[in-house]
């Protein structure tokens, strides 16, 4: 059966105006002012009058098998459930390991990716974890990226953090170089997703790698760049050269420390950071720990949800005055383009039918993933 969305205000994420969108199988078949389906074909028509049709959201940093563990076994977070994605308007995720790359394995992330795909959504993953050398499936970062279609890069490797392995410049450069070459061979992004900690001058390890190697800033995707005021100030300059990922789920748990993501987007744009360099991710199912600055002891632990991305897109528009077509890019076209997720992140003919229908209050009316209606 074909599905025809009629009279929608379409954001691709760029604003296309009032359009009809026809889908069939997994694919967007046509985007036009008025579409007349082929005669004799079963068509399900969705009237989208006064509604926005946008790409299904991409959350490119989720601990899909659960994260945490900094407070002992009881602090382990649960794995991602499909319902968490759908309720958030998310149709594509990138899974990763975090602090615990010991009792949680890359193999388990791979199987969760396969599970999510069988459930109808799209999923990829990073090999590795906080630790250096990174845990892998084959024992080699390059082999993991080249041989497993689901693996697109390395992460989440921790730097500038008391939980990191404190990798040297040479170690970090080697991981990035291996990921880059593996990405070239395997047709992947080959990027290194970096956990940014609370240390001052947090981007220094990346600057040093770029200075002492042939690698560029866009070989890295640093996340948690809004975790405190001084890292965010550095991000305003760093983002002019490389990518900046803003974590959405940690707000409002740490309002005195974090820069609210919707506000961060506006401030980055005002600082002349290219919009195409900015992404939003939820860090969902990972722990959001708070540590005593004197003793280093864990004093607070929260868990975020994928729904934080849509919330911050809404606030970027409604509170910060960012145009919707710009507010959508950090959760649609930007991660798709940066991570080379083919056929994702845009409403275009030939792309995957990942479509999110919203009312003007950002309430989800319908959600389609890979051509299958998941909500509505």
pLDDT digits (tens, 9 = 90+) for 212-270: 999 999 999 999 999 999 999 999 999 999 999 999 997 777 777 899 999 999 999 99
Alpha-carbon gap, residue 105 to 243, rounded angstroms:
27
Alpha-carbon gap, residue 96 to 260, rounded angstroms:
23
71 and 39 fall within a common domain: no
265 and 358 fall within a common domain: no
Work out the mean pLDDT of the chain and round it to a whole number: 95
362 and 323 fall within a common domain: no
Residue % of the chain over a pLDDT of 70: 98
What is the arithmetic mean of pLDDT over 180-189?
98
234 and 350 fall within a common domain: no
87 and 210 fall within a common domain: yes
283 is catalytic: yes
Q: What is the CATH number of the domain that holds 109?
A: 3.20.20.140
Structural tokens at position 367: 């959600």
84 and 48 fall within a common domain: no
Residue whose token pair is 């890069």: 153
17 and 92 fall within a common domain: no
Structural domain total, the chain: 2
Alpha-carbon gap, residue 303 to 32, rounded angstroms:
42
48 and 64 fall within a common domain: no
219 and 366 fall within a common domain: no
269 and 286 fall within a common domain: yes
**What is the residue range of 42's domain?**
2-54+346-375
Q: What is the CATH number of the domain that holds 21?
A: 2.30.40.10
Alpha-carbon gap, residue 174 to 193, rounded angstroms:
14
Q: What is the pTM of this model?
A: 0.94
40 and 122 fall within a common domain: no
User: Does the pLDDT of residue 298 top 70, yes or no?
Assistant: no
For residue 312, give the 3-state DSSP assignment: helix
DSSP letters spanning 162-217: TTS----HHHHHHHHHHHHHHHHHHTS--EEEEEE-S-SSTTHHHHHHHHTSS--G
**Residue pair 182/191 in contact by the 8 Å Cβ criterion:** no
Q: How many Cα atoms occupy the beta-carbon half-sphere of 161 within 13 Å? A: 25
Active-site entry in 283, 315, 352, 354: 283
Q: Note the pLDDT of residue 68.
A: 81
User: Does the pLDDT of residue 323 top 70, yes or no?
Assistant: yes
354 and 224 fall within a common domain: no
């Amino acid at each position: 059966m074909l599905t025809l969305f009629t009279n929608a205000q379409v954001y691709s994420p760029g604003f296309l105006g009032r359009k009809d969108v026809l889908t069939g199988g997994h694919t967007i078949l046509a985007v036009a002012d008025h579409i007349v389906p082929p005669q004799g074909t079963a068509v399900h028509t969705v009237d989208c009058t006064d509604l926005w049709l946008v790409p299904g959201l991409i959350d490119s940093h989720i601990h899909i098998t659960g994260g945490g563990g900094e407070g002992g076994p009881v602090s382990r977070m649960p794995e991602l459930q499909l319902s968490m994605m759908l309720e958030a308007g998310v149709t594509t995720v990138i899974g990763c390991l975090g602090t615990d790359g010991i009792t949680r394995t890359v193999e388990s992330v791979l199987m969760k990716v396969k599970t999510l795909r069988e459930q109808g959504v799209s999923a990829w993953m990073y090999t590795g974890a906080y630790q250096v050398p990174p845990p892998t499936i084959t024992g080699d970062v390059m082999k993991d990226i080249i041989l497993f279609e689901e693996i697109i890069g390395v992460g989440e490797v921790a730097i500038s953090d008391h939980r990191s392995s404190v990798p040297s410049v040479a170690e970090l450069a080697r991981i990035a170089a291996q990921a880059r070459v593996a990405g070239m061979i395997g047709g992947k992004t080959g990027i290194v997703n970096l956990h940014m900690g609370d240390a001052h001058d947090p981007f220094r390890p990346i600057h040093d790698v770029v200075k002492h190697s042939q690698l560029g800033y866009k070989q890295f995707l640093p996340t948690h760049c809004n975790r405190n005021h001084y890292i965010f100030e550095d991000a305003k300059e760093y983002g002019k050269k490389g990518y900046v990922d803003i974590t959405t789920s940690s707000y409002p748990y740490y309002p005195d420390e974090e820069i609210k993501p919707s506000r961060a987007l506006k401030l980055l744009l005002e600082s002349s950071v290219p919009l195409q360099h900015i992404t939003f991710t939820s860090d969902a199912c990972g722990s959001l720990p708070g540590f005593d600055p004197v003793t280093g002891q864990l004093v607070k632990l929260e868990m975020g949800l994928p729904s934080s991305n849509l919330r911050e897109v809404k606030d970027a528009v409604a509170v910060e005055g960012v145009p919707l077509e710009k507010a959508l890019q950090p959760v649609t076209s930007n991660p798709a383009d940066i991570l080379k997720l083919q056929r994702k992140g845009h409403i275009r003919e030939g792309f995957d039918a990942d479509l999110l229908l919203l009312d003007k209050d950002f309430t989800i009316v319908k959600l389609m993933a890979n051509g299958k209606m998941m909500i509505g």
